[in-house]
Amino acid sequence: MQKKFLFIFVLFVVNSIGAQPSKYLEAIDSAIIYIGEMKEGSKVPGVSVSVMIKGDLVFSQGFGYADLEQGVRVDPSKTKFRVGSVSKPMTAASLAKLFEEGKIDLDAPIQTYVPNFPKKEFDISLRQLAGHIAGIRHYRGDEFLSAKNYETVTEGLEIFAEDDLLFKPGDQYSYSSYAWNLISAAIESAAREEFLSYVNQVVFQELGMNNTCADHIDSLISFRTRYYARTGSGGIVNAPFVDNSYKWAGGGFLSTTEDLVKFGNAHMKEGYLQKRTLDIWRSSQKTSDGKATNYGIGWRSGEYGGKKWFGHSGGSVGGITQLIIYPDQEIVVAVLTNSSDVNYRNVHHKVAHLFIQN
C-alpha cells in the first residue's frame, strides 16, 4: 500500500485511538493498517470493526462510507449492515432458549413442529438441519437475488419444500441456508409466537442489541447502510435490489459491529445460556461415518495460529461479515462491510491475534 494512502487513512481514524487503554495502542495501530489494506485491496466503500476483550470494548471504528452518494461515514455504534449468515447463530440463540425451556427436542422429526412440511424418504431433525447434515438444498440459480416479498416464514418454505433430499440425513455435510427457514418455522411453532418477534425478544432485547433488526425493505430503518458491488473493471456500483424476507433466519438480519461483539461475548461462557447448551451448540457435529463437520448448531469452529475459535461468516448482496470468537482468550472481533465482493484476507483472525499478544 502506498505510504500516502496509509497516512491519510490513519488521520481519518486517529481520533478513536486516544480513548483506548494504552496497552492496546500498538495492536490498534496494526489493526488499522490491516483493515486499510483489506479495504483498499477490495475497494470497499465502508468497513466497521469492533473488538471486545473480557466484556470490554477496547477498539471500535468505522472506515470509509456507509453512503458514498451522500458522504455519510460509517459509525460502528449505529451503521447497520447486512450480516448474511451471521443471522444463523442469532437464530440458533433463540432455538437455544426453547431448548433450555424444554419446548423443543433436537432429535424429533421436523413434522413434530412443522406438520405441513412434506415428509421425505427419511426423517429430518432440528439438530441435523442446524448442522447442515439434513440434506436440504442451498440456493439454486438466481435465488440469492430474490426480490419477492414473503409475508411469513412458512411462505418461504415453498421455495424448496417439494425438492428431494440431497442425501440421507447425517451422511454428508452440505451447507444450506434454507434449512434455517425450516428451523424458523419450528421456532414459531414451539414458541407460539412469530419468529421475528421471538428473536427480537429473547436475543436482541435481552442482550441489549438495540441496533439489530430484520432487513425490511419496506420500512424506514435508521442508519442502514447502502449496498454496493464491484464491476468487472473494478468500479463501484449500487448492488442489485433484493428482498431478504425469504430467509430471515439464515441471512436476513441487519446489525452493527458493536452489537455483534456483544452477541459473541454472550456466548463466551455460561450466563445468557447454560454451559450444557453452549457445549452442544458450539461443538462440531459428525456425519454418520464419524467425520467432524466443524459446525455445531449455528456455529463454525476451528483453529488459527494454534488457538481455538468459533464464529461465523456471512455473505449478502451488498455486504460480507466476519464474527470470530477466541474463547480461551475471551476476545471477540466483528467486521462488517457494505460490498458484495470482499476478500477479508483473514483480517478478522489477524486482528484478534494482535490483541491476544497483549
Cα separation of 165 and 160, whole Å?
Answer: 10
* Domains of the chain by start residue, with CATH: 43-342 (3.40.710.10)
Residues 286-296 have pLDDT tens digits of 999 999 999 99
- Which residue type occupies 166? L
Q: Could you state, in chain order, the average pLDDT of each consecutive group of 10 residues for the chain (358 residues)? A: 40 42 88 96 96 97 97 98 98 98 98 98 98 98 96 96 98 98 98 98 98 97 97 91 97 98 97 98 98 98 97 97 97 98 94 87
Percentage helix, strand, coil for the chain under 3-state DSSP, each rounded to 5: 35, 20, 45
Residues 176-193 have pLDDT tens digits of 999 999 999 999 999 999
Rg of the Cα atoms in the chain: 20
Q: Which pTM value belongs to this model?
A: 0.93
For the chain, give the percent of residues with pLDDT over 70: 94
DSSP letter string, 187-248: HHHHHTS-HHHHHIIIIIITTT-TT-EE--TTS--TTBPP-EEE-TTS-EEEPPP--GGGGH
Residues 146-179 have pLDDT tens digits of 999 999 999 999 999 999 999 999 999 999 999 9
Cα separation values, 104 from 47, 70, 176, 188, Å: 38, 47, 21, 11
Residues 57-99 have pLDDT tens digits of 999 999 999 999 999 999 999 999 999 999 999 999 999 999 9
